[in-house]
A = this chain, B = another copy of it.
Amino acid sequence: MVSVAIMGHGVVGSGVAEILTTHKQNLFLSIGEEIYVKHILDLRDFPESPLADRFTKDFNDILNDIEVRVVVEVMGGLNPAYDYVKKCLKAGKSVVTSNKELVAAHGAELLAIAKEENVNFLFEASVGGGIPIIRPMNQCLVANIVDEIAGILNGTTNFILTKMIEEGMQFEDALKLAQKLGFAERDPSADIQGHDACRKICILASLAFGKHVYPDAVHTEGITDITLDDVKYAESYGCVIKLIGKVKRLENGMIDIIVAPMLVPEKSQLANIDYEFNGIMVRGDCTGDVVFYGKGAGKLPTASAVVADVVDCCKHLKTRKFLFWADGDGENILPAEKSVSAMYVRVKGDNIIVKAENVFGQITKICRADSSSDETAFVTEEMPYGEFLEKVSKLEKDNVKVLSKIRLGNL
Interface residues of chain A, those whose CB is within 8 Å of chain B, are: 15, 19, 23, 26-27, 30-32, 124, 130-132, 135-136, 139-145, 269, 272, 284-295, 298, 300-301, 303-305, 307-308, 311-312, 315, 319, 322
- CB-based contact A143/B311 at 8 Å: yes
A136–B132 CB distance below 8 A: yes
List 16 extra interface pairs beyond A143-B304, A144-B304, A285-B300, CB under 8 A: A23-B145, A26-B142, A32-B322, A132-B132, A132-B139, A135-B135, A139-B312, A142-B308, A143-B303, A143-B308, A272-B272, A287-B301, A288-B295, A289-B295, A290-B293, A315-B322
The answer to whether A19 and B143 touch across the interface, beta carbons within 8 angstroms, is yes
The answer to whether B291 and A294 have CB atoms under 8 Å apart is yes
Point out the residues of chain B lying under 8 angstroms from A142, CB to CB.
26-27, 30, 307-308, 311
The CA of A307 and the CA of B307, in the complex, are separated in Å by 27
B304 contacts A286, CB within 8 Å? Answer: yes
Q: Is B287 touching A295 in the complex (CB atoms < 8 A)?
A: yes
Closest to A129 in B: B287
Per assembly, the copies of the chain total: 2
Residues on the B chain within 8 Å of A131, using CB: 287, 290
Q: Which residues of B contact A27 (CB under 8 A)?
A: 142-143
Contact (Cβ within 8 A) B294 A290: yes
Return A134 CB to nearest CB of chain B, in Å. Answer: 9
Establish whether residues A140 and B136, one from each chain, have CB atoms under 8 Å apart when the complex forms: yes
Q: Are B300 and A286 in contact (CB under 8 A)?
A: yes
Give Cα A315–Cα B288 distance, bound, in whole angstroms.
25
In the complex the two chains form, is B322's CB within 8 Å of A30's CB? yes
- Given A142-B308, A287-B304, A308-B142: A31 touches B322 (CB 8 Å cut-off): yes
The CA-CA distance from A197 to B23 in the complex, in Å, is 31
A300 in contact with B287 given A135-B140, A136-B136 (CB within 8 Å): yes
Bound CA–CA A290/B23 (angstroms): 19
Write the chain B residue with the least CB distance to A294. Answer: B290
Closest chain B residue to A288 by CB distance? Answer: B295
- Nearest-neighbour CB distance to chain B for A296, whole angstroms, equals 11
Report yes or no: B322 in contact with A304, Cβ–Cβ below 8 A.
Answer: no
Q: Tell me if A303 and B286 are in contact (CB < 8 A).
A: yes
Most chain B beta-carbon neighbours within 10 Å: one of A289, A308, A312 = A308
